[in-house]
Each structure stands twice: as C-alpha cells, then as structure tokens.
Chains A and B, each alone.
Chain A
Amino acid sequence: MKKTMIKGFALVAASVLGVTGLSLAPANASAANKTMVVQESNALSGLNTAVNGFNLLTNSDVLGPTGAGFTYYNNKAQLVRNTAFGTFKITKNDCGSTPSFGCFKVTYTVKKGLKYSDGTLITAQDLLLSHAISSSDYSIKAGLGDPSEGTAKFDSAGYGGAYDDHTRAESFDLSDDNFSVTVSYDAFQPDWQVFGPGPGAVHAMVGIAKGKKTFQTARTNATYKSLFEEAYYGSIATLPSQSDPDYEDELGARDDARALMKKIAAKWSTVWNITTVNSSTNPLLLISNGTFRLESCTSTGCTLVKNPNGNIGGAPKQTGNLEKMIFKFTAGTLDDTAVGQAIAAGTVDIYSGAATSSFWSVVNNASGVTAFKGNVLTYEHLDLRTGNSIFPMAPDNIKTIEGSTVNCDADYNGPFAGNSQQAKDLRKAFMLIVPRQTIANNYIGKVFDPAFSGNSPVLNSLFSLTTEGDYAKVTAGSSAYLTDLNKDQTTRVALALALVKKYYPSAAAGSDSFTVKLLTSSRPSRVANAGLMTTEAAKAGIKVEHYIRSTWSSELDCNFFDAAEFAWVKTGLSQTGTNPQYESDGGNNSAGWNDSTLDTLLGEFEKLQTATSLITTKINAEKRLWSNYYSLPMYQWPGASAWNSDLKNILPSPLAPNVTWNYWQIGY
C-alpha cells in the first residue's frame, strides 16, 4: 500500500512538474470597469410598469434608466423637476367654494427637439396615453370598459385614487403645436405635482397594434402619432343626434377610432409582459427615451447599455461614466447573507433593502465595500380603537378567534371606546406603558450591532418620517404633547398607573384592572413587542391579551380588538397621503376614529400649501392626534445598502428606485 501511495503521489508531483515549461505570462489587467451590477430583491415580471400585476417595483427599477419624464424623487424623498424633459405649471386655480370641471388646470410642456431612441420626435401626443390608462371616465366613455368592474381593455394598475376621481375623459387638451397638454380637474389637487403625465411612445403603440415588427420610417411614425391622437379623441367624441345627416359618418368614425384604441389596449396589456429580451425581440417594444436602453433580459437578469444616439430623450445630463447596468434578479426569495457575500466577492456591485443583521455583518467589514445605514418608508405603530370600523371587510364578519366565535361587526364598547375623558386617559395610560425606546433599540441599533447600547431614534410623528426633510420641524412643533410619552420607562409606568387609578381605585401592579385585546401578526418582532407591552402594562394594572393572527391584516377592522400593532408601508409621498388613515371616513381608518375636529384639520392637506404652511398643517393635525391618543408611532424600519467602494455618487434613497434613481451621476 505504502509503495503504491508514494508512487501515486510521485506521479502527481511529476505531472505538476511537467507543466513548468508552460508560458508564465501574467494575466492582463482588465479594461477599466464601467459596468454596475445591481441586485434586485425580486425578479422582473415584464416591461410594463403600469399593467396590473404583483410586483412592479423591479420593473420600475430596471426601466427607470431607460426613461425620463417631468419629475423624479431624490434621496431626500423630494420631488425634483426635470427641466431637461420639460416644464409644468398651474395655469388655472379658481375652484372657490363651488368647484366645477376645469376650475383647476395644469399645463405640461415637452421641451422641443427631444427624441426617442429610434429618432422619433417626442411630443405632447405621447403624454395622452397616461390619461387613457389612469382615467376610468375615459375608459368608460371611449368604450374601453369599466375598470371598477374589471372589464377595462387597458389592464392598468393606474385606475383609482384622486387623479381618477377628479379628472374626466375630456381632461387632456393638446396645444396646436403639439408640445403642450393642459390637464383639467374638477377641484384643486393638492398632489397635482405628483399626477404629471409621462411619455409613452404612441407611434410604437400604433405600430405594434398594426402588427409591425421593425422600426418604421420617420414619415410613418409621424402618421402613427396623428393616428393615435385621432383615435384617442375620436373614441370619446360626442355624436350628433340620430336624425342628423352626419350621424352615420360620425358613428363610423368613432367606431374606427374605438377599434384602434381597443387594439392598442389589448397590445398594451399583453405584449410588454415579457421577461426575455434578446436580438429577436420586436424593437418597437424597446423604444425608450432614457440615457440607457434595454439590451437583453433573461430570467436571471437584465442588461442596460448606454443609448448609442446619446442622451437625446430628455434625461438629466449624464455626468457619471457608467456604460452598462446589469440588474440581477433574485431566485425565489432573497437570501440576504448570499447577497452580502456576492457583494464581498465582487459579483454584485450594489444592493439596497431592509436592514438585517445577517446582511450587515457580512458587508460591514468586507474590504472594498461601502456599507450604508438608511431607512425604508415603513413605520411600526400601535393603533387604539375608539369605535366601530366603518369599512367591515366582509358582510358578516364572523370569525373564530382563540376557539370562540366572535362577531367583528358587534359594537365596540371596550375600555378605549369614545372620546370621554376616561377613554382618553386609559388610552394614554396604555400608550405610556409601551417601551418605545427599548423596541427601537432592538429593531434599529441591534440590527446593525448586537452589542449596541445607545439609543436609536424613536419615531415621534405620524405625518413625517425621519427620512423626510421636515421631520425635525414637525416634531419640534408638537413636542409639548409628547413630553409624558418621552419620559423614562419607570416614570411613564407610574404616570400610567396614576391614570388607571382614577377609574379603578384599587389598581396596582398585577391588578388586571382592565383588559386590552392586542392584535398582531406572528412576526417575531411584534410577538416580542407584545411580550414587553404585557409585562410593562401589568405594572400599571393593565392586562394585555395578545392575539397572534396569521390573518391579522384582514382583521384590523374587527371591533373585537382594542389595539393593533402593525406597520404602514408608504408607496410614495403625497400631501394627502396620510388622510385615509385618520379621516373619519378614511379608507385606512380601521380603528373607528371619528373626530370632526381632526377631519377639519386634515382638510387643510387638501388645499394648496407651501413647504412652510405644510409643516404648520402637519403640526396642527398631529397635536389633535396626540391629545386624543389614537395612534402611537414607534419606529421607522431601518434599511441597509452596500456597494462596491469604487462606485461614485451612490446616494441611497428610501423610495424606489433606491440606488439607481440618479443613474446619470453614478460612475467609477
């Protein structure tokens, strides 16, 4: 055996020696890197960012650098106007006390001379499509189906919301030179800046509807644009009375227009729903106006390359030297350790997502990697019920909770019901016992460093998140109302006990003077928080019954529960965005808050505001919320990003696209 083994190794050694004669030239250093590999936490579901579907965030991330419009959000979540594309302004604001259609108008003007990647001129005709996919009134009047019944021919996720409610089919007026469009509303729109239309290459849309599979000539494209404009307006044309001699002709014209719009709608809803892009993909699908263009997509990633024609579509001027962007998709669900290691190994250049200790521990000490602590637009909070939910989820809301049958629609008469002094005091007592600081430390500080011993920021506002520019001013304005809530834990528990004693004189630690039914999901952090609350509440004589429900999100409206801890996920920032949570008839108000004073204060958000007056409005509403003890903000979820340290100008934003929003500045 021994001999054989030695022989064996001798053979191996000799074979290695045998290769010494081979050339030993060192490998060439590679060309300067101008490619950025971005890890996405999901996979692409198609090339349409507005079609109904599950995950459009990845689609928007990938297609972001291929387009440009009137605005974008920066890393401070501020809406920035992109003057390279065009300008917009209010041209009529005369709604007064009796608003009528057309009392509020905004005019959008596309800069002249901008072109799509196929060389076709960008005009205001290209803005029309965005109305067709966002206005239910247009869809119905153009014979394209009723979105609320799910029969709309444009299978768009754009219907619904304030824009849809306050515009009409006829809202878009095209200027004579085709470079401006004026949008008419039937009331003042506080979020008018967010509602801007974006460009959609309508000549490509018509080409695709006509079955074209190659680029068309400039002349044909111009014809297609006019065809789209005619079809767009022709579909909603008012017909003369049947006795009119022109009736038949106009009916025929309208039918033709509608037929084309239907074809376009059918194509719009389906042909972009592809996840594979290669040289055989119809080039009309890939016409874009951004700095970059989509070159290829597979199930594992998409490659974007710089537009060969240069920056001609109205994107901000490129100052970085990036030439290629690759978006890498996650298979299944994201494994954050894997992403961290991929960044450390250099196969991924950048990733941004929710902070987890496993991700942070890998990237924080990796060489050549910049790790960044940020935030996501999600915040944890505790809602206390004051009355009946006005939006029961199901007609007969009978649920089995912990073995007993509960009628969720039965009137709420728990300890927090109504706005009597007692109810307010008991709500305050319950808010006081919540160890907000400990909770914030656990889910912010300790995520990044298990040995963290400082104080992480507690969220002190329901209207501004810590990542918003006005957070400091808003919280300073309402700070007097938070004095008790920000005292140390022992003092707060003592204050809470004193409040409980007012109504339950025998209250003491462990007396279980009244019971709070707390609803949470099974998320470990919430279960742990409920545990902390139970312990602290007991010290003030309050008993917490904790209900962990997998179906919690559909039970927020269940009048059986007194309190619920969950998170609100903000998908964007708008002036009126928080109103549905607190208005008496708000769609997200599931805790039965019914407060006409608050409604009046919230009404201010519906008016034209300057940055300064908006802060005052927020403070006033916040003061009302604090003094009635409806909802307790806890902390804003932390985010984490990490990137190849060679990359310059990376400015992670809490809004999507988190790290590529300023693609034109990024470079090596």
Chain B
Amino acid sequence: MHDKTLAQQSQMLKSSQTSSVELVNHYLERIERLNPDINAYVSVNADEARVAAADADKTRAAGNAGALTGIPIAHKDIFCTKGITTTCGSRILQNFKAPYDATVVTRLADAGVVSLGKANMDEFAMGSSNENSYYGPVSNPWQRDRVPGGSSGGSAALVAARLAAAATGTDTGGSIRQPAAFCGITGIKPTYGRVSRYGMIAFASSLDQGGPMAQTAEDCALLLQAMSGHDVRDSTSSTLDVPDFSASLDRDLKGLRVGVPTEYFADGLDDGVAVAVQAALAELEKAGAILKEISLPNQQHCIPAYYVIAPAEASSNLSRFDGVRFGYRCENPQDLEDLYTRTRGEGFGDEVKRRILIGAYALSAGYYDAYYKKAQQVRQLVSNDFTEAFKEVDVIAGPTTPTVAFKSGEKTDPISMYLNDLFTVSANLSGLPGLSAPCGFSDGLPVGLQLVAPVFEEARLLNIAHRYQQITDWHAQSPAGTD
C-alpha cells in the first residue's frame, strides 16, 4: 500500500479499496518501525492523525470527499501547527506550540489531508545535509551513511522511505529540490508568491517558498493545487488565479523548447550525474521536445550573491527569537543583555549563528554597499539572464545538484556545503518555479533532473515531469530495507 503513489491511494480511497484509517495505521506502524533508524520525523501525532483519518472517512461516506481527503502526509517542522510543537529544527523552539496553523497547513487540512507528524529539517532551514538539526541528523534511506540533503531532508527521506504519501517542504536556495534529488523523489518549488508564507517560519523572506514533495509530479500537482492561492495574511502572496495543475499534466511535449545551460555542465559536475541528466534530456527529445543550448552568464555569481542576501534577511528574521514572548529563555538571566545573548547563544546552533553573524556584518554600517547592495545588483543580473533565456526557450533543464548524496560528516567546511546549491539558488533569487524529478542513479544513489520555468508556469513543469514519468520509472523505485 505504501508503494502506491498519492494519486493511486486517492483512487483506492475513492473506490473503497482502503480507508483513511487503514492508510494512517499502516503508515504509523511503518514510522514506528523504520523512523528510529532514519530520524525523518521529529514528532508523530498518532492520536490526532487517527481522529482526522476517521473524520476523513466520514466525509467520504457522506459523499463530500475530494482528491486529497484522507491522504496521510507529513509537514516540515517549519510550518506552524496549532497545539502541536513546531521546532524548526532548533533548540530555541524546543517546546514551542504555535497558537495558529500556517496557511499551508490550514489549506491542506481543509482539503482533507491527514497530518501524521512533523518532518526533521536543518535548523531554521539552514543547511544542505540535514546535519544541522538540534534533533539529530536524518539518514538517506538509499544509503544510511549518506545525507538526505537539506534543509527539507526529513520530508524527502520520509517520502523516499514511504513513511507518508507525501510531505510539505520549503525552498530558500534549493531546500525542496536538492533533498528531492538526493532521495529520489519529486519536489517543486513554486513561483515566489504562489504559496502563502504565513505561519511558515521565515529564513530569508524574499527567497522562501513552500511546496510539495512526493513520489510523482502527478502527486505534486494535487498537493500544490490545495496549497496555492492568495492569502490575505501574506502581502507577497499572488492574487493571480491558480490554474488546474492536474488538467494539463498530459499535454504533449511536441515542440517544447528546452534550454540547456552550458554553465550547468561545466567543471564540478559529477560524471555520473551528467550521464543521468543527459539521458533524461534525450528522453525529452524523444518525446518531441527541442533541446537548445543556452547561456546563463551570471550563473557562477549566484552562490556569493545568495550567501549575502539570505544571511542578511535571516539575521533580521531571527531577531524575534529573544526569549521574551515565546520559545527558549536561558536560566536566570542577570539583565536584559544577558537574557538576549545567552538565550540566543544557547538556543541557536553553529550554522545558524554563522549565518546571523554574516548577515549582520553584511548589513552593518560601512559594508552595506559593498555586500548587500552589490549582491542585490547581482541578483538583478541573474534574474535578467532568465528573462533573456525565456525569450528563446519554454523551460530550462539541467542537473538539480552537482553530485549525488554525500556522506554524513564529509563536508566540514561551510563553503563546500554551500556549493551544493550551485544550480538551485538562481530560481530563488529570480523567484522562478523549479522542480526536481528523479532521473536515474549514480553509484546506487538517485540523481535529480531540474526544470525551471518562467514565473507562474508551474503547470508547465508538472506537465513535463509527468510526461517524463510516464516513459521512465525512476520515480517508482524505492530504497532497499524499507519494506
């Protein structure tokens, strides 16, 4: 049952081959058995899930079910859930119970989705390996000594290990796509503004975007449909109409112009990854797409620009974690200064502290122009590259990551870790939608194909990935030892 995709489970529920309660119990049993080894969940809310599943079955019996009614998923622990602990992977929120649900959580619940629990993540979504969680690292289900990617590493690992039909994730520099690639699943980062950020704990507000992670593009389409749309609580959420993502999944790819940036196949790209991605591009060509070499000349500048902008925003976003109104407070603060510095010193992990300091430095008097303003100008150049490229192509394709999943503890210096985001950050800097779909293996580890489209063209990404998944079965493979 757990190897079925979300869409297939939806059909089974519809035809009464199974019930939500049955599905939920099945997953809860698997979580109990398999999660201790993978650590993909930081918390499981079995009781609430069973109640919600029973409700979903009643809704179905009453004839009011939608495609997602009764489907069990997990939420990345960055999404606030009313009455259920939301840690964001941090000590500073160890016992934090938000008094509200994130809009994504509300919308999925309204669509009938059942939440099984909260997924592990890098602290405050800062990381590419899920080694930065206060609640312990997550193992990659394909090879347990490998990282699952990050920051939505728990979400990716639990979908790969079939511990839920799908999960929510967030993506600031690749945090949905990179772990999706490392774990052999499908994940989409929507256009900035497509999905409400309300109740999603902010890392870098101008880059953050929530999205679904599941086995297939078809599954992602169903979830994204429920997650999308204007939210009066988020002034950056788009007021544009949301198209029917499922309706266009089967569109023919004939004549589709696929841009392949030369910069994505340069030095630093792992051979095995290159081979798998080239093969995927060849499949698209066979399906009628036209491949076209393009250039994104400022691609190489993305990482330095990102590592100014994201920490700058984060340093300010994380100021509210001060031990006054919620969250961790240090023992016996002597005075205000002591309250702040010890609460934050003890509450935040090393990577979070590093980024707060980089960000504060980049914004501080005398350095603003050289760092922050410069990075914003470069951001504009990166964005302009896409504008130019999309005059000639409909979509851009390439590898999601330069390598497959690396070993835990292997990358000790921050820079080598940051370079993992090489191909993914540009979509965040430009606000564009990006998707990663499994496209093969290298050394027994999954490889991801990344697709990037113009703003608000998620339907196109889902369509291409879906067609690709009709002619390949990489997405259907599951890791050994997760039966």
A, B: real partners:
no
